[in-house]
Amino acid sequence: MDAFLFLALAAILIPSDPVAQDLRFATPPNLNKDGAATTWMAAVDCENPPPSAWIGARVVFGYDLDLDGVPEVRDTLGIPAADCGEENAGRIVLRRRLSATSPALLRAELQTPAGVRVQAYSVLTAGAGSLLALSRFCARPQHGEPEWIEVRNENTFPVSLPRIRFETRALSGTLQPDESVVAGSDTAELALWQPGARRIALSSWSSMRNSGDTLRLSLAATDSLSPGLVLDSIVYGAGASGREACASVEKEGSGAAASGFSMESATKRWRRSAGDWTVTVRAPASGIYSLQVFDLDGRPICSLAREAVGPALYRLPHASCQALSMRAGLFVLHLAPRAAPGVRTVIRITE
């Protein structure tokens, strides 16, 4: 079945040419997807303006692969004014099969015979999330973890971020293919909870609602008449979302929390000369889990428990984890139930 993606309109009027002002698409252009083929379609009226006004007018197609705001012109489509006739119900139907070999931002500009742009439409050739995706987020953290979002480059080209907005907040830098970045209000705090991740700070961060919200990743508007194009969005409610991934607490109503698993450390910062600290694991009486320690790069340091059953209290450094008493830095405690999502927390060890 064909699927249609309607394009975001950016209308630009030309006040100096009355005829040119009348050059308009009669219907919003759309993408007609049929299997692997994608066709751009639109229509123009033959009566107002008359066919003679369309002679020499054209549609120019440009692909912005890296979102730097400079589309590369790939194709043009002339408007066949001679096709006007009663058999076409007074309209010319325009079609162009797209040639992009990867997801891109397609910009279609309607130009007058003199080459003046009168309308511009932008659309993602492969749909929302095909270039940049909101891959994860944390809206309901606990134990001092900050809120954050994770943006991933789903494209096969590097993507420039300065024109990208999370709500109204600007991102920065460049993402390579399949690379991700974690963004929040404080990169120093994010480092405690997202060890090893690339991080950027967003200005004027406002809290995400615990009761639910819509998160949008969009392209900044290029002028006052053209709205920003939504690149990806997440709608979440008061319960868990498939992409909500706070390190400090499992998702409400599902996963480890619903299964009765949780972990609580007596401290987030441990000085090696201060003696042991404790980690409390709450688990069902028959619940099986493992408790491991990793460094910032995800390498395992030691295992505190393997195939353990039921609740327990662990003192650190453990006999099986003496490496912690000889190292300083950030470490991740990972509680991994056998049949539920894991729970993580970060510990900073100092001299």
- Across 49-58, 95-104, 250-259, least confident range: 250-259
Place of tokens 């134990």: 143
96 is written with which tokens?
């162009």
How confident is the prediction for the chain on average, in pLDDT?
80
Is 0.85 surpassed by the pTM of this model? no
pLDDT value for 290: 92
Residue 88's identity, in one-letter code, is N
Reply yes or no on whether the pLDDT at 301 is more than 70. Answer: yes
User: Three-class SS of residue 24?
Assistant: coil
At 60-101, the pLDDT tens digits run 999 988 888 888 999 999 998 887 765 566 888 899 988 766
Q: 270: part of which helix (H) or strand (E)?
A: strand 269-271
Count of beta carbons in the 10 Å neighbourhood of residue 346: 21
What's the CA gap between 122 and 171, in Å, rounded? Answer: 21
287 is written with which tokens?
């619940």
Which residue stretches of the chain are H helix? 18-21, 51-54, 187-193, 255-258
The average pLDDT across 163-181 equals 91
With pLDDT > 70 as the criterion, what percentage of the chain qualifies? Answer: 84
Domains, in order of start, for the chain: 3-124 (2.60.40), 132-236 (2.60.40), 255-350 (2.60.40.1930)
